[in-house]
Amino acid sequence: MLNDTEQKLLHILFNFSSTRRRMPTMPELQRKTGRKREDIYTGLRGLVGKEFILWPDNPKLETTVILKLRSRNKKEIN
């Protein structure tokens, strides 16, 4: 399960890569998330640990690759 920071980062990374064809810079992530640099790095390391992203050239964000998106569990309504 992803925490709020990880969810937000994954969402931003996906949107940037699909619409702008690049990964966001650290100042862009700070502005979009409203979080500090340390919190962003912690969230990115969490996404790597949970195998949602690949980040081969840490700390360069432009090398980040999205491996999978979080699927939402929808409750069945009877």
Query: Does residue 71 contact residue 64 with C-beta atoms inside 8 Å?
Result: no
CATH number for region 4-66: 1.10.10.10
Give the per-residue pLDDT at 76: 45
pTM for the model stands at 0.85
Domain boundaries, the chain: 4-66
pLDDT the model gives residue 69? 86
CB 5 within 8 A of CB 39: yes
Residue burial 53-76, b: 16+ Cβ < 10 Å; e: rest:
bebeeeeebeebeeeeeeeeeeee
How many CB atoms within 10 Å of residue 10? 22
Mean local confidence (pLDDT), 29-37: 97
pLDDT digits (tens, 9 = 90+) for 51-73: 999 999 988 999 999 999 865 55
Residue with token string 């969230």:
43
Average pLDDT over residues 3-31: 95
Residue 20 clears pLDDT 70, i.e. is over it: yes
pLDDT score at 72: 58
